[in-house]
Amino acid sequence: MYRDIPPELRALIEPVVEANGFELVDVMLRRGRPPWLLRITLDTPAGDGRVPVEHCVRVSREVESHLDASNAIERAYNLEVSSPGLDRVLAREKDFRACLGSEVSLETRRPLNGRRRFRGRLERFEDDIALLRIDGEEVAVPFGEVSKGKRIYDVTSADFDETRGGSKPGRRSR
């Protein structure tokens, strides 16, 4: 989640992302056996996920230079910079509002009514409460309790129908 990004990493990464015309969505640092993994998710200000690969590469190089110069990560690490993708990360309030009407998957920091994982249609997001429709019932999940969230993209045959603007796997649209 955006709010969980360590402040020292956010201070180094976010200015680079913003200078390149993007918004920082999430940063995940997975520690353990070296190399550690630093995964950065960025998006356009419109929140459409249309971040070209070459822009991810440019941001990656600049972020790596800043991190290495400041010795912010004390172990060897691999850096991944990407856009949210189809199963987009829901890390900010803005991300939740953009996914209204979509199916989402949420995991909470602690159990709510005996469960931590929720999957359903995001009906509303008001007053920092995500209201999900799960099996016909409305379930309220406070934004502050969400530890992980993502949009579930339902792939249909229409996504591959060239007459409707889709493209076949392995073939580039023109």
- Domain spans of the chain, in order of start: 2-82, 93-152
Q: Whole-prediction pTM value?
A: 0.71
- When pLDDT is averaged across residues 67-80 and rounded to a whole number, the result is 92
Each residue's pLDDT tens digit, 84-120: 877 778 888 988 998 899 999 999 999 998 999 999 9
Q: Give the bridge partners for 106, in sequence order.
A: 118, 149
Check residue 170 and give left, alpha or beta (phi > 0: left; psi -120 to 50: alpha).
Answer: left
Are the beta carbons of 105 and 119 closer than 8 angstroms? yes
- What is the CATH superfamily name and number for domain 2-82? Cation efflux protein, cytoplasmic domain (3.30.70.1350)
Structure tokens at 130: 């995500």
Q: Count Cβ atoms below 10 Å from residue 54 Cβ, excluding itself.
A: 8
Q: What is the pLDDT of residues 15-65, one digit of tens each?
A: 999 999 999 999 999 999 889 999 999 999 988 788 999 999 999 999 999
Residue range 93-152 in CATH 1.10.287.610: no
Hey, what are 140's tokens?
A: 């309220």
Same fold, 2-82 and 93-152: no
